[in-house]
Every structure is written in structure tokens, then in C-alpha cells.
Structure 1
Amino acid sequence: MTFLTEPFALEFVQRALIGGALVAVLCGVVGTWVVARGMAFLGEALGHGMLPGVALATVLGLPVLLGAGISATVMSLGIGALQRRARLSYDISIGLLFVAMLAAGVIVISHSGSFATDATAILFGDILAVSAADLVLLGWATGIGLAVAAAAHRPLVALALDARVAAVLGLGPRLAQAVLVGLVTLTVVASYRAVGSLLVVGLLIAPAVAASRWTSRLPSTMALASVFGVASVAIGLVLSWHAGTAAGASIALTAVAAAGASWLARVALTARTARTRSGSAVARA
């Protein structure tokens, strides 16, 4: 047990665990919708889309979170505008803005010679540096995200099943889509401090994929995805502590490994159940 509990004797690791758990719960709920809608690329694109705003905020001495929020919001609105005005498909709209925002961020960074370390923290996070103020922010973001997801549950379910049916039923698929994009934006912006803009996608997607193997209802998937996410945070921190690896990357890799293990366990259980039923049928015959 000492192997598992030793890291959490330190206060900064405790804060990392709490912050990571808040991120995991928010990602578990929002990620379930992302997986249901096949929008995994959006989370990755928004992670890159924050880069120019964060870079400009850092250079100008403004709050980094403000720059990240503005940049991600601009990208989210831009995706919707390209779909409506330019009649481009969803993935093409994301791809164009993905490249444009990433290029703009790199250009800003290239003009600031002292920005390399900050860029690394943005991309890969520093969960061990999470402060008490960060925990308050993550708490608010998680609370708001859960409240919005609960309030928009019916339109989001209809959107996940069939947008055309949602429109016929008057459930506002366009508004539901905007809410979902907003939830992904909130999750990525609020979480990048803990696990980085690139690695947040691991907690956004992998726990939801792992949970979907064992549940048939969305609320159950969200709950189980949150459990998988929190467990990934705890295990990732322990592995990072003892192996001397980057904490954020260790957490993301643990989450992806959990998704793979969940798939293998489900396949094995299904095969075993099939053999049992086949044996029972032969015995009865």
C-alpha cells in the first residue's frame, strides 16, 4: 500500500489528484456526448485553437486563461460560420481552422524567444503545479458544465440519435449542437492547465470509450466514464511519481490503456458467455 499512497502524502500531489479528478468528471460527461456524436477531432482542434490566444496573452501580460477562452471561442464560432455560410462539411471546417489557428500560434511564439517553456506547459500541462486557485476554477467549470449538460439532456439525446428527428420534434438540433461545442470548449479551456491542450483529449475520449463497452444508457456511461477518468488520474500520478515521467502524459496514457483493457475484457467476457451458452445448449440436447 505504501507504493500507492506514498505520492499523496505531499500537498502538491493531493492538489493534482483533486484537480485531475475534477477534470476527469467534466471530461467523462462531455466526452460521452463527444463519442456519441463522433466529434473527437473537435477536442483536438480546440486544443490547438487556444494556442494563438494563449501566446498573445502571455506576450501582452494578460491572463492566460482569458486568451485561451477567447481563442477557443473564436474557433468554435468560426467552425459554425464556415458550415453555414461557406457550406463546408463539419470536418473540413474544423480542419481549416485547426491549421490556421495552429499556424497563428506558432507565428506569435516565433517572435518571442522566451516563450518555449510556456508553450511546452500549454501543450503538455503541469498538473503538479495546480494551485488552490486553479482548483476553485476547475470546480466552477465542472459545476457549470454538469449543469448545462443536465439542462440540455433531451435535445442532446435527440441530436445524438438523429438530428433530423430532433428538428421534427422541435428539440432544436442547431442549438443542441452549439451547446455541445460550447461544452467541449469549456472542458478544453478549463482543463489545459492540468493536463495540457494536447493531452486533455485523452481524458475526453478514452474514459467514455472504455465505459461505453459496459453500459447501454448515456447517464450510466457518463458515470462510469467519470470513474475510469478519476482512476486514470490516480494511477497516472502514482506511475509518474515512481517512474519519473511527465504526470500529464502518464495520466493520458493510462486513460488510453484503460480503454484498451476495457475492450479486451469485454471481448473475453463475450467469448466466455458464448462458450457457456453453447455448452449449455449441447448439454440440453
Structure 2
Amino acid sequence: MPLITDPFVLEFVQRALLGGILIALLCGVVGTWVVARGMAFLGEALGHGMLPGVAVATLLGVPVLLGAGVSAALMSLGIGALERRGRLSYDTSIGMLFVAMLAAGVIVISQSGSFATDATAILFGDILAISPEDLVVLTWATGTGLAVAAAAHRSLVALAVDSRVAAVLGLRPRIAQAALVGLVTLAVVASYQAVGSLLVVGLLIAPAVAARQWTHRLPSAMAVACAFGVAAVVIGLLLSWHAGTAAGASIALIAVLLAATSWAAHAARVRMRIPREAFA
């Protein structure tokens, strides 16, 4: 009798599972900071801002993660430059570069006839195509991201509370902000192969949103977000295999559904608690 977990005996599914878990751990930690700082728009913009780098890398035959990383890094640097020297707000800087990078990517794709079979992977990812070499890259990215997050934890906490307090305490809020932008860039690029440029924010934000329904302590929120992310990867891969759906989209959808379910369960728990407190 076939088991629901039968797909995990296949090597390429095992690689997809391991890669997805690594991404979920990185996104769980970074996404907690993103939600705490209200930076979801940055993640969305970086997800689309990778498109020209991915397109050029595909044309040149170099690893797409390299192109995505270069493109996302340039966008992050551009956002900082516009904010400092262009006297523009943070959201305005992100919005302008977001449109420019997305337009550049579409232009590159429109001028090439070689993207007919690659467009879906660019937009929605191809987690089932993760190779052993990709796992090495993901392991490095996750390890680096977690190490940076741990080293900058105190500065990031102060930044999340109040940047002026961070400055008074000598914690250099600009450096902390740059570190956070770097972490978001790393998480978005690392997640690209799993869920693509359109769905990357789902894996970055949804598990953190789900975790915030149950705890407001940052370390425990990170742990719970990682658990929700891993659950989304496992359930999404199983759904994809048995229902014949796109793996990346399935993972992103499950992540959002887990966040919605978590919110509904928390709201129900609060409603059940109110009558007891009212008669106390």
C-alpha cells in the first residue's frame, strides 16, 4: 500500500526537501526581522529586482543564483544611495528601483527567444531541480545568514525598538539597517530557486506572520517561524507530488494558508478567553 511520504525516497525529492528546509530556516530568522521592522515591501521589490540579473545570467550560461545575487545586491546599494543622496524616502527609493529593475528584466527577456522554457522557473522557481552543488550554496547562505543575524542581534533589537535609542547606545543603526537589508537580500536570493521571483515573499513573510500570532519574543518567534516554514516545505512538496501542482507555488500557498490558519486559531482563542475574564 503506497504511503503519503513515498516521494521522499527519491533522491531529487530528498534534495528538494533539504534545500527547502535550509531556505525555511534562513527565511524564518530573517522574516521575523522583516515583519518586526515592517519591511515586506523591500522583500517584494528585491524578489522582482532579481529579474534582470537572472535573465542576463541565463543568456550568458552562468549560474542564475550568481546573476540573481548581483542584481539584488546592486538594487540594495541603489536603494541606500537614493535614500542618502537623492533625499528620497525609503519606500520611494524602493519603488523607483523596483520598477526600473523589473522593466530592465522584461526588456532583456523580450529581446531574447531563449526564455520560452525558462520563464516559469524564473517566476515560480524549480525546487525539484536543486542539485548537490545548489545544496552547498544553500548551506553556505543559511550558515552565513544565521551567523550574521546572531552577531547583529543586539543592534537589530535596538533598531527595531527605536533607531534613535540605538544611536544613543552606540549601536550604529545605519550599520544595523545595512546588515538587515543584506540579510533580506541573502534570503531572497537563496529562496529564488525554490519559489521564484514572484512567490519569494510568501516564504519570507508568511511563516513569520504565523509565528507572531503565538509569541512576541524575537528568539521564540524565529524558532516558531522556522517550524512553520519547514512545515510549508514538507506539506507543499507532498501536495505537489500527489496533486500534480507546481512545487514552488504549492510551498508558497501552504505557507500563506498556515499563516491564515494560525491567525484564525489565535483569534478564536482570544474570543474564548474574553468571557472568562469578563466574569473573573
Task: Sort the TM-score into its range (normalised by shorter chain).
Answer: over 0.9
Deviating more after overlay: 191-200 vs 241-250: 191-200
Q: Secondary structure of 1:4's partner? A: coil
Q: Which residue of 2 aligns with 1:32?
A: 32
| Structure 1 residue 3 displacement after superposition | 4.5
Q: Which amino acid aligns with 2:10?
A: L
Q: Which residue of 2 aligns with 1:201?
A: 201
TM-score of the two chains, using structure 1 as the length reference: 0.95
Q: Which residue of 2 aligns with 1:9?
A: 9
How far apart are the structure 2 equivalents of 1:238 and 1:60?
34
| Structure 1 residue 50 displacement after superposition | 1.0
1:134-213 equivalences in 2 (<5 Å): 134-213=134-213
How far apart are the structure 2 equivalents of 1:133 and 1:239?
26
Please list every run of 5 or more consecutive structure 1 residues that lacks an aligned counterpart in the other structure: none
- Post-superposition Cα deviations, 1:172-197, rounded to whole Å, max 9, x if no partner, equal 11000000000011111122112212
- Report sequence identity in percent: 77
Q: Which amino acid aligns with 1:70?
A: V
| Structure 1 residue 91 displacement after superposition | 0.8
Q: Which residue of 2 aligns with 1:45?
A: 45
Q: How many residue pairs were aligned?
A: 280
How far apart are the structure 2 equivalents of 1:231 and 1:57?
32
Deviating more after overlay: 160-169 vs 251-260: 160-169
How far apart are the structure 1 equivalents of 2:252 and 2:62?
29
How far apart are the structure 1 equivalents of 2:102 and 2:78?
14
Q: Which residue of 1 aligns with 2:218?
A: 218
How far apart are the structure 2 equivalents of 1:4 and 1:110?
42
Q: Which residue of 1 aligns with 2:272?
A: 272
| Structure 1 residue 2 displacement after superposition | 5.0
- Post-superposition Cα deviations, 1:102-137, rounded to whole Å, max 9, x if no partner, equal 000111111111113223212100111111111111
- Please say which structure displays the higher CA radius of gyration: 1
How far apart are the structure 2 equivalents of 1:90 and 1:254?
31
Q: Which residue of 2 aligns with 1:240?
A: 240
- Post-superposition Cα deviations, 1:31-68, rounded to whole Å, max 9, x if no partner, equal 00000000001111111111111111221233322211
Change (3 A) 1:277 1:84: same
- Post-superposition Cα deviations, 1:221-272, rounded to whole Å, max 9, x if no partner, equal 0000000000011011111111111010000000000101001100111111
Contact 1:109 1:116 in 2 (8 A): no
How far apart are the structure 2 equivalents of 1:11 and 1:70?
30
Contact 1:13 1:128 in 2 (8 A): yes
How far apart are the structure 2 equivalents of 1:137 and 1:123?
20
Deviating more after overlay: 133-142 vs 225-234: 133-142
Q: Which residue of 2 aligns with 1:75?
A: 75
Contact 1:228 1:258 in 2 (8 A): yes
Q: Could you say what the CA RMSD is over the residues aligned between the two structures, in angstroms?
A: 1.3
Q: Which amino acid aligns with 1:269?
A: R
Q: Which residue of 2 aligns with 1:21?
A: 21
Q: Which residue of 2 aligns with 1:102?
A: 102
How far apart are the structure 1 equivalents of 2:273 and 2:237?
35
Q: Which residue of 1 aligns with 2:123?
A: 123
| Structure 1 residue 274 displacement after superposition | 1.7
Contact 1:195 1:249 in 2 (8 A): yes
Q: Which amino acid aligns with 1:249?
A: A
Q: Secondary structure of 2:5's partner? A: helix
Which 4+ runs in 1 deviate beyond 6 A? none
Q: Secondary structure of 2:216's partner? A: coil
Q: Which amino acid aligns with 2:216?
A: S
